[in-house]
């Protein structure tokens, strides 16, 4: 290791990690193994949170349930067409409103989950491809400059 008192700016360019005490194999292990696994772990934590927030299973199970449990019971005895149609109309409208609200929530939740997945996939690919892009860009800049 080069003593710090004899280091100049060019030594920092040749050995950028010398001040941090990190060796190149440690950095490579961190950059290509530890950090990508941490990125995936964070993604799955966010995904689990989205599933809990939007509760997709519950929304699908109760998709055609009445909205806010607003429903009238049907008459047990006798038959009154007016009462029956009124109860039927209220129950159908309540189920349709529940279906609309739950469908919108499902669509919004699925869109948010897809957006989360796309964002994390792009971030993950950018993280892994950055060293290659960096060195290609650096080579291009120095080849154009000289």
Q: What is the pLDDT at residue 2?
A: 47
Q: DSSP letter at 6?
A: G
In this model, does residue 10 exceed pLDDT 70?
no
The structure tokens 């049907």 sit at 74
pTM: 0.71
Cα–Cα distances in angstroms (integers) from residue 91 to residues 68, 69, 104, in the given order: 11, 9, 20
Q: What is the pLDDT at residue 117?
A: 97
Q: What is the pLDDT at residue 97?
A: 93
Pick 22 or 51 by higher pLDDT: 51
User: How much is the average pLDDT of 1-23?
Assistant: 57
Pick 50 or 69 by higher pLDDT: 50
Q: What is the pLDDT at residue 81?
A: 87
Q: Is residue 97 a contact partner of residue 65, using CB atoms and an 8 Å limit?
A: no
Cα–Cα distances in angstroms (integers) from residue 47 to residues 65, 78, 114, 128, in the given order: 26, 53, 10, 21
Q: What is the pLDDT at residue 74?
A: 77
């Amino acid at each position: 290791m080069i003593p710090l008192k004899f280091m100049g700016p060019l030594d920092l360019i040749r050995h950028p990690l010398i001040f941090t005490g990190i060796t190149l194999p440690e950095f490579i292990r961190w950059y290509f193994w530890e950090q990508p696994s941490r990125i995936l772990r964070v993604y799955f934590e966010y995904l689990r949170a989205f599933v809990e927030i939007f509760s997709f299973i519950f929304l699908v199970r109760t998709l055609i349930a009445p909205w806010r449990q607003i429903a009238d019971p049907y008459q047990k005895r006798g038959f009154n067409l007016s009462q029956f149609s009124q109860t039927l109309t209220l129950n159908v409208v309540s189920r349709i409103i529940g279906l609309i609200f739950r469908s919108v929530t499902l669509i919004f939740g699925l869109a948010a989950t897809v957006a989360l997945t796309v964002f994390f996939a792009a971030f993950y690919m950018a993280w892994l491809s950055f060293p290659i892009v960096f060195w290609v860009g650096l080579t291009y800049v120095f080849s154009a400059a000289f």
